[in-house]
């Protein structure tokens, strides 16, 4: 569909990032009262089927939030523990980008040169240059030239509904071919229902249902969970047993708590001249970390990352226009004013996306829904999430600065949106890493404190969220943990 005129319509349903709208075979319902409802893609490849492929490491300070800013917690690891793995996963994912950003520690060069920033990146960068603010060409897991199993990007801009050119990194291209060649077996259509334990409290494998609802059991010596911060928490809670009555690995009571999502606002910058801004890639063209760190003069701690993106075709332009004018009444966007979106916005605008570092809070949490179930009869994930006062102030401040950046770029107008009610696919924190079993779920090697042969390797282990798009860190950390597991295999406890 992404190569057809219907491309934009794919968002309406089949490729809608909200599982409650899409209702795909592998999806489970998300219930609850959340200011920001998580989005995700369930199926082989997970979110990396649908992601925008923006590649960003955490800041060095993100690992030391407690020490530096006196709030939240420090990670039990630091940037240096991930450095080599960041470089390796960037190669595995054929990342295109430019090293040398002074806001980040030094890194190995990316395997591919950056994608040209194009007209929208140039206009945005000139604004930042005038203001003396930080910006850098965006790194993306999109190949700017043939690399590994990826072809060169053709700028179709349909990245989030599937790349028809095989230019965007996604596990079916970057990982599964070699993993399967090495002998791994992929069981599709499997819905894990429980991680059972033996009498000594070691996990024994995974119980799952196939597409026809038939029960199976896959024995394992070690289980690694990567169902994302919502799905993993759900599965651990589903795996409650007499030995673990509050859920597997949950003696701390923290499984499901501290959900972080990077609440998101946008400022769409409308310019006088045509910018052909329906063209892709729909990764980050440029980004800014100018306001990503704590500053003593501000009325909030921590910060936000900004990134420039194209705005898609005319349907998206109309939706953006309508959303920004939602409080101005019917006349403002429909009837005689309908065509203004196409006249003024379509092809002439780009968007500054602003993602905030939300701090971990116990009450932002995933639990099991008491009544609603998925199509297999398993409880849905119930999500409660409030945007904190600190985050709201942070977003207000950053949006005001982004409007200034737009003006410095020569904008004729801006379309400002409030906090998006659906998330941006960043779900973090519900099985946090730490040294103390009373205040964390997994240790520094992401092994459950309570269960010696159970690991979590998704974004649930994040102690704080930073403001960076999380996948580079999720992957680097998964590699770090797996390397260690292999090295230390002689001492790994396994079921009897």
Partner 1 sequence: MSGSGPTPAQRLTLDRLADVLVPEGRNMPAASTVGVSEGLLDRFLDAAPALAEPLLSLLDEAPAEGLDAFVRHLASQRPGDFGVLSTTVVGAYYLSAEVRRLIGYPGQQPNPLSVASEPDYLDMLERVHERHPGYRECS
> Segment 113-172, which members bind partner 1 (CB under 8 A)?
113-117, 121-122, 125-126, 129, 132, 134-137, 144-145, 152-158, 165
Which sign does the torsion angle of CA 317, 422, 302, 97 carry? negative
Beta bridge partners of 413: 270
User: Judged by CB under 6 A, how many residues of this single chain contact ligand SF4?
Assistant: 15
Q: What is each CA distance from 427 to 262, 335, 379, 385, 467, in whole angstroms?
A: 8, 39, 19, 11, 12
Q: What is each CA distance from 118 to 98, 215, 281, in whole angstroms?
A: 15, 52, 10
Is residue 157 part of the contact set for ligand SF4 (CB under 6 A)? yes
For partner 1, the closer CB: 217 or 338: 338
Among candidate residues 337, 348, 339, the one with its CA nearest the CA of residue 312: 348
Beta bridge partners of 416: 267
Beta strands in 181-238 (DSSP E): 191-194, 205-209, 215-219, 223-225
Among 30, 39, 115, 387, binds ligand FAD (CB under 6 A): 39
User: Judged by CB under 8 A, how many residues of this single chain contact partner 1?
Assistant: 73
Residue 54 interacts with which of partner 1, ligand SF4, ligand FAD, none, CB < 5 to 8 Å by class:
ligand FAD
For ligand FAD, the closer CB: 41 or 135: 41
Among 30, 34, 36, 54, binds ligand FAD (CB under 6 A): 54
**Cβ 336 to partner 1 shortest distance, Å:** 7
The stretch among 42-50, 253-261, 295-303, 443-451 that binds ligand FAD (CB under 6 A) is 42-50
CA distance 420 to 437: 35
Among candidate residues 441, 1, 49, the one with its CA nearest the CA of residue 236: 441
Is residue 194 part of the contact set for partner 1 (CB under 8 A)? no
**Mapping DSSP to helix (H, G, I), strand (E, B) and coil, where does residue 330 land?**
helix
Q: What is each CA distance from 73 to 77, 228, 455, in whole angstroms?
A: 12, 21, 21
Residue 168 interacts with which of ligand SF4, partner 1, ligand FAD, none, CB < 5 to 8 Å by class:
ligand SF4
Near ligand FAD in 234-253, by CB under 6 A: 235
Among candidate residues 460, 427, 426, the one with its CA nearest the CA of residue 442: 460
Residue 21 phi, psi dihedral angles, 5° rounding? -85, -45
Task: Return the ∠ at Cα 366 (arms to 59 and 25), rounded to 5°.
Answer: 100
Residues 3-42, mask of contacts with partner 1 (x by CB under 8 A) = x-xxxxxx-xxx--------x-------------------
The stretch among 152-160, 293-301, 405-413, 418-426 that binds ligand SF4 (CB under 6 A) is 152-160
Among 107, 167, 366, 475, binds ligand SF4 (CB under 6 A): 167
Is residue 142 part of the contact set for ligand SF4 (CB under 6 A)? yes
Residues 279-308, mask of contacts with ligand SF4 (x by CB under 6 A) = -xxx--------------------------
Near ligand FAD in 435-464, by CB under 6 A: 458-459
For ligand SF4, the closer CB: 291 or 316: 316
Near partner 1 in 41-80, by CB under 8 A: 59-61, 63-64, 67-68, 78, 80
Among candidate residues 315, 308, 411, 305, the one with its CA nearest the CA of residue 358: 305
């Amino acid at each position: 569909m992404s190569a057809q005129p219907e491309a934009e319509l794919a968002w309406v349903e089949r490729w809608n990032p909200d599982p409650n709208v899409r209702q795909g075979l592998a999806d489970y319902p998300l219930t609850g009262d959340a200011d920001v409802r998580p989005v995700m893609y369930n199926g082989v490849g997970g979110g990396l089927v649908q992601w925008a492929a923006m590649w960003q490491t955490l800041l060095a300070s993100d690992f030391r939030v407690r020490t530096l800013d006196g709030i939240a917690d420090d990670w039990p690891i630091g940037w240096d523990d991930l450095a080599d793995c960041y470089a390796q996963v960037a190669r595995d994912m054929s990342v295109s980008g430019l090293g040398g950003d002074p806001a980040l520690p030094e890194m190995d060069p990316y395997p591919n040169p950056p994608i040209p920033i194009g007209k929208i990146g140039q206009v945005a960068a000139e604004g930042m240059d005038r203001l003396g603010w930080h910006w850098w060409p965006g790194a993306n897991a999109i190949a700017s030239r043939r690399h590994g199993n990826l072809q060169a990007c053709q700028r179709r801009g349909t990245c989030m509904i599937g790349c028809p050119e095989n230019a965007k990194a996604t596990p079916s291209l970057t990982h599964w071919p070699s993993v399967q060649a090495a002998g791994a077996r992929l069981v599709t259509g499997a819905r894990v229902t429980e991680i059972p334990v033996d009498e000594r409290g070691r996990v024994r494998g995974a119980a799952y249902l196939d597409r026809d609802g038939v029960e199976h059991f896959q024995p394992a010596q070690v289980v690694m969970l990567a169902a994302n911060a919502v799905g993993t928490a759900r599965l651990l809670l589903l795996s409650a047993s007499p030995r673990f009555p509050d859920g597997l690995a949950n003696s701390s009571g923290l499984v499901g708590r501290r959900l972080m999502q990077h609440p998101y606002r946008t400022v769409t910058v409308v310019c006088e001249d045509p910018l052909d801004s329906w063209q892709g890639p729909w990764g980050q063209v440029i980004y800014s970390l100018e306001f990503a760190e704590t500053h003593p003069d501000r009325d909030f701690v921590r910060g936000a990352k900004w990134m420039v993106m194209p705005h898609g075709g005319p349907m998206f332009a109309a939706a953006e226009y309508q959303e920004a004018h939602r409080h101005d009444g019917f006349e403002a966007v429909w009837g005689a004013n309908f065509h203004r979106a196409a006249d003024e916005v379509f092809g002439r605008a780009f968007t500054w996306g602003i993602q905030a570092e939300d701090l971990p809070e116990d009450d932002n949490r995933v639990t099991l829904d008491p009544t609603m179930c998925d199509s297999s009869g398993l409880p849905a994930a119930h999500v409660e999430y409030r945007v904190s006062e600190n985050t709201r102030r942070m977003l207000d401040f950053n949006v005001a600065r982004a409007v200034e950046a737009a003006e410095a770029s020569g904008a004729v107008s801006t379309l400002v949106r409030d906090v998006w009610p659906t998330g941006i696919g960043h779900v973090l924190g519900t099985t946090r890493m730490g040294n103390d079993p009373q205040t964390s779920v997994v240790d520094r090697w992401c092994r459950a404190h309570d269960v010696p042969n159970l690991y979590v390797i998704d974004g649930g282990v994040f102690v704080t969220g930073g403001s960076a798009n999380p996948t580079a860190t999720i992957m680097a950390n998964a590699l770090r943990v797996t390397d260690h597991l292999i090295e230390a295999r002689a001492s790994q406890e396994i079921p009897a």
